[in-house]
Amino acid sequence: VLSCLNIKNTNVHSPLPVAAVCQMTATPDKEANFFVCKNLVEEAKQRGASMVFLPEGFDYIGSNQEETLSLSESLGEETVSRFTDMARKLEVWLSLGGFHERGPNWKTDRRIYNSHIIINDKGDIVTVYRKAHLFDVELLEKGVSLKESASTIPGPSLIAPVQTPIGKVGLGICYDLRFPELSLALQRQGAEILTYPSAFTVATGIAHWEILLRARAIETQCFVLAAAQVGPHHSKRSSYGHALAVDPWGEVLGDCGGEQPGLIMVEINLEKLENTRKNMPVQEHRRNTDFYHSLEKTK
């Protein structure tokens, strides 16, 4: 497993909790993808990570809608159970950033959720967040045309941040990054770390990826961890890469680049978060929700 660029070297034996943010190139081959993930998680654990973040589509990225649907599973089937076993054996927390989960009416409608699963170091599923904002975008001049809603059901609700060994983690997935309302809602519920596992297109990644991640970190004064897919998944689709870690001041702590799989090791210093919020108390200065909606009521 290749290590990506850490802007600030992380001491593996740091007294601070350490997260590993991973980058991979998933294909339609589920077995091959699993072994890539396994190697990343083992490497991360060996280097001192207490929580490992895998990207959206860690299980697979299909080459067409029919393949995407036929490869999907429920939470109780083989793929997730292999990761719960892995978490238990290695005694590490996992963020599985986007699993193709069969929906509640799969037998009649063949529709799925894009599900972000958190597993603890005992191998228990702690929570599941189902992606709320679906990527239906046509940027024909940039060669981007995807309609996630053709096969995917939008998640019914946000999920409260989860207490983990690295801090309180608020969950999003990929396109959710473009909706600051989501990150602010998670911050109000105590999130210290926001995570946006992704498979960003190359065109939108070049234009917006780092800017959006840094903006979410700055406006919420949270750490932001974004595992990513990179490179060609099959003949029809490639991802931007640049798995990123950002601190609450908006500084980039590590970047996996745009070419190959790997991981970044990141110390999560919650004292830095507390100081950032204390020195610039943005949340205290925020007016109540009605104030921001008052403009909509004016004529």
Note the residue count of the chain: 299
Count the helices and strands in the chain (H runs, E runs). Answer: 9, 17
Domains of the chain, earliest start first: 18-282 (3.60.110.10)
Burial 190-205 (b: 16+ CB within 10 A, else e): ebbbbbbbbbbbbebb
Q: What is the pLDDT of residue 9?
A: 47
Confirm whether 131 is a catalytic residue. yes
pLDDT digits (tens, 9 = 90+) for 47-98: 999 999 999 999 999 999 999 999 999 999 999 999 999 999 999 999 999 9
The distance in angstroms from the start CA to the end CA of the chain is 59
Beta-carbon contacts of 253 under 8 Å, excluding residues fewer than 6 positions away, are 6, 7, 8, 245, 246, 247, 264, 266
45 is catalytic: no
In terms of Cβ atoms closer than 10 Å to its own Cβ (0-12, 13-18, 19+), residue 206 is middle
Q: What tens digit of pLDDT does each residue of 210-238 get?
A: 999 999 999 999 999 999 999 999 998 99
Q: Which of 4, 174, 222, 256 is catalytic?
A: 174
Pick the catalytic residue from 22, 45, 131, 267: 131
Residue 76, classified by CB atoms within 10 Å of its CB into exposed (0-12), middle (13-18) or buried (19+), is: exposed
Cβ contacts of 167 within 8 Å, gap of 6 or more: 17, 192, 193, 223, 268, 270, 273
Question: pTM higher than 0.75, yes or no?
Answer: yes
Active site residue 42: no
